[in-house]
């Protein structure tokens, strides 16, 4: 019976383990015992130097999911793959994931129309420079971060007074 299992890998080697495992499955004629090998990822929008950049982040660093029919041969193929440190489970027996767990993990990277999560690089009290809009080239201090709306409230010195201004993440950049 095909079930989802979690493989523990060296952190940062998830994609290499996926490639090695897929190659071993083919070369050892174990294709009928395996359906999918997945490195769970999600799309994240980061703001770097005032520019929005879409990147892919691993949801579970150090882990790879495998949909397989577990038997001794399949277990050996996975266990002896370079970079694999073992299965997640109690003792020597791998514990399969429940279907709700699989759905929750895999949905993070594959749901259609899913709202992308913004990665906040700004924190309270940080100094920033306004890069666009009527206040460009003014410096200010962050007093509020609204990650969901991708907005900041910044105190900007105008005519020797600190004025609170609401700005988008892409309208400012950090001062070094």
Alpha-carbon distance of 157 to 164, in angstroms, equals 9
User: Are 102 and 149 found together in one domain?
Assistant: no
Q: Please, which pLDDT band fits residue 119 given cuts at 50, 70 and 90?
A: low
> Which residue range is the domain that position 62 belongs to?
2-118
User: Does 29 score more than 70 pLDDT?
Assistant: yes
> Residues 68, 77: contact at Cβ < 8 Å?
no
> Residues 156, 167: contact at Cβ < 8 Å?
no
User: Are 44 and 9 found together in one domain?
Assistant: yes
Average pLDDT (127-140) is: 87
Strand pairing class (2-9; 84-87): antiparallel
Boundary residue ending a domain (76, 94, 118): 118
| Sheet of 84-87, strands arranged across | 34-38, 63-69, 2-9, 84-87
User: Are 107 and 146 found together in one domain?
Assistant: no
Please state, rounded to an integer, the average pLDDT across all residues of the chain: 84
User: Does 75 score more than 60 pLDDT?
Assistant: yes
Average pLDDT (81-97) is: 85
pLDDT at 110 (0 to 100): 42
User: Are 18 and 83 found together in one domain?
Assistant: yes
Q: How many domains does the chain have?
A: 2
Boundary residue ending a domain (97, 118, 139): 118
User: Are 133 and 84 found together in one domain?
Assistant: no
């Amino acid at each position: 019976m095909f079930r989802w299992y979690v493989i523990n890998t060296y952190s940062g080697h998830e994609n290499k383990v996926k490639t090695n495992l897929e190659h071993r499955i083919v070369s050892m004629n174990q294709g009928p015992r395996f359906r999918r090998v997945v490195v769970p990822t999600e799309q994240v929008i980061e703001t770097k130097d005032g520019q929005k950049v879409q990147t892919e982040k691993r949801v579970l660093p150090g882990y790879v999911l495998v949909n397989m029919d577990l038997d001794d041969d399949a277990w050996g193929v996975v266990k002896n793959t370079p970079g694999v440190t073992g299965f997640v489970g109690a003792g020597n027996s791998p514990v399969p994931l429940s279907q709700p767990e699989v759905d929750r993990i895999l949905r993070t990277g594959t749901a259609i129309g899913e709202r992308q999560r913004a990665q906040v690089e700004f924190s309270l009290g940080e100094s920033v420079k306004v890069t666009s809009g009527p206040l460009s080239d003014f410096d200010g201090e962050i007093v509020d971060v609204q990650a969901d709306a991708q907005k900041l409230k910044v105190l900007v010195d105008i005519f020797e007074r600190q004025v609170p201004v609401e700005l988008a993440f892409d309208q400012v950049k950090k001062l070094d």
